[in-house]
Structure 1
Amino acid sequence: MSTSFDPSALDDLLARIAHDAPRHFGEGQVANYIPALAEVVPDQFGIAVCDVAGRVYRAGAADTPFSIQSISKLLNLIIAIQHLDEADIWQRVGREPSGQAFNSIVQLEVERGIPRNPFINAGALLVTDLLVSRIMSIHWVMRELARRLAGNPTLGFDTRVASSEMAHKARNAALAYLMKAYGNLHGEVDEVLDVYFHGCALSMSCVDVARAFAFLANRGVHPDDGGVIVTPQQNRQLNALLLTCGLYDAAGDFAWRVGLPGKSGVGGGIVAIVPGQMSLCVWSPRLDSYGNSVAGLRALETLVEGLGVAPLG
């Protein structure tokens, strides 16, 4: 599949975006409810693009590793789709936007322990429960898939971040125990939380993330080795879910402003997909009230406008 953009113009656009990013460095706050993330230098910015031919373009701190946090929910869902019967997944977690904060307990109680979608915390914990119960050595499987997709054999977990999250697990534990009370979470809560937090603590750069999810722009096929990661139908479904649910209760605003399937994390990263063309990753640690990177969102708006991409017409 060929690209429809000028590579030199893309390099220039990324450089301009990185140059302008500091305008937003005073806006938002880092995720200070996770002590290890509260210590991250807040005023940083990186951006990377991987096209469907596997070519990478970058600017700013694109090679600086960061904690991917909830971007890992996409990785875990992909593992579940690859290894499990999809009927088992979707009878225990929904596919609808939540309209609530990513860690809402109230909605989970009202809906009797069935999470709205796999990208809110409750849904991601449910997917993790499925993985823990069905796949041996799931930590290894998560890490190795991330390494393969990113083409980086050195990727690993930031154990300090994972330990920090485990030490402040109360709200996620509450979500897990509530689902367990309704019979929808089957494993031991601390084991599920440990795997979940290790996924969140994967340390990747913008280049790593853009490369890792470029297959979603390429009908499920890895641009580098031609391997089929998901089927074309699964690829379309994942992108649909990313568009409607990937940025929590700001998903509608993101669709309005950026118009791409995307997934954010409170580490400051956002991955977005231009179907048929490229994957994008931006990173800047300061977050808005929804938990999404302020400078990252601005950068994606500028990038989409500059490229003239319009998957939604």
Structure 2
Amino acid sequence: MADHDRIASAVAAAWSQNRDVTGGANADYIPALATVDPDLFGISVVTVTGDTINAGDANTEFAIESISKVFTMARAMDEIGSDAFHSQVGTDPTGLPFNSVMALALHGDKPMSALVNAGAMSSVSLIPADSTEDRWAKILAVQSAFAGRTIALSETINQSEQTTNAHNRGIAWLLKAAGYLYDDPVGVCDVYTRQCSTLITTADLATMGATLANDGVNPLTGARAVHGENVPHILAEMTMEGLYEASGDWAYTVGLPGKSGVGGGLMAVVPGRLAIAAFSPPLDSHGNSVRAQLAITQIAATLGLSLYRKPHEADGQNAGRESSIRLATAGRQK
């Protein structure tokens, strides 16, 4: 069977077999996310040659949320270099929730990862800019470069986020006091909130992941979105913290760098080959989409995509992972 047909078959099976899965709940601490249809479910795969396979609601827009941290990190690394980024933000998993103040307190108020809220705001502040609006334009531009189309802000989601982000504003001031926020805390938190409030589709998200798989070059447009030498660092960050406290379990069982967002999106990257993205709003206790985890896990197992297995080794042994996800759907992390 040709590679396209194998992928298409795996995507279709994952969508069909997981579309009726129940459990989890929409994020309700951001009011605009609470009202998203919980039955939405889309899957997309984009290869490094630009081949695209979609299933379900793959062209329905949703909030990018924390997945945006990956692309802001990419822009910051490009601007100041990976070594400077590593020393100023940190690259270690926290083992605590993504909005944890305790994670800062334990390390002298230094953020430990660009993929939790504190480190993400530090990343925003590290992008050189003449103003808040200039910095926002740079972040919006990098999201668009990765997606291969113009990405736009959702005013509804942004307003919902801006009126409920007091905790993040507090984190921004803690970072500033400790010397790990490199611009005005109010402006930085505003831009960070906006970057989480843009709208993407599952197909966009797979393209964004495929750009990382393709050494930083968008496979649909042929344009470079990030310097190739920074891609391994970005994928390492995704491996360590991409699914919050579940990141280690994801690496252990799925074997791919991933990143989730509380809007229900999840992407996984297979360097040199492809990216898988899935979207479904109900989240587990860590803030990761229940159906998206199951779908990507199934596709990765069917196609033998784990980085820790021999290439193309497919064993389909995803039952244990599916069981662990189903047991974790009683709540969600705020």
TM-score normalised by structure 2 residue count: 0.87
Query: Residue 151 in 1 paired to residue 148 in 2?
Result: yes
Q: How does 1:2-151 map to 2 (within 5 A)?
A: 6-24=3-21, 26-131=22-127, 133=129, 137-151=134-148
How far, CA to CA, are the matches of 1:152 and 1:133 in structure 2? 23
Between the aligned partners of 2:83 and 2:144, the Cα distance in structure 1 is 28
Most deviating of 200-209 and 4-13: 4-13
Displacement of 1:229: 3.3
**What is aligned with 2:255?**
259
- 1:234-253 aligned within 5 A: 234-253=230-249
Are the aligned partners of 1:247 and 1:263 in contact in 2 as well (CA < 8 Å)? yes
In the TM superposition, what are the counterparts of 1:151-190 in structure 2 within 5 Å? Answer: 151-153=148-150, 155-190=151-186
Deviation at 1:5, TM superposition (A): 5.9
Contact preservation (8 Å) 2:75, 2:226 = no
Shift in Å at residue 132 of structure 1?
6.2
Conservation of the 8 A alpha-carbon contact between 2:79 and 2:128: no
Alignment correspondent of 2:315: none
Match of 1:229 among 202, 225, 231: 225
Q: CA RMSD in A?
A: 1.8
- Contact 1:263-1:270 within 8 A present in 2 as well: yes
1:27-65 CA deviation, whole Å, 9 max, x = no partner?
001110101111111121101011010111100100000
- Equivalent pairs counted in the alignment come to 308
Unaligned runs of 5+ in 2: 310-334
Residue type at the aligned position of 1:168: T
- Residue in 2 aligned with 1:192? 188
| Residue 222 (structure 1) shift | 2.5
Q: Please tell me whether residue 204 in structure 1 is matched to residue 225 in structure 2.
A: no
CA contact (8 A) 1:5 1:307 kept: no
Deviation readout 1:127-173 (Å, 9 max, x if unpaired) = 112226567612222222222322223x2011111111110112111
Taking a change above 3 Å as real, the CA distance of residues 5 and 181 of structure 1, as seen in their structure-2 partners, is farther
Name stretches of at least 5 consecutive residues in structure 1 with no aligned partner: none
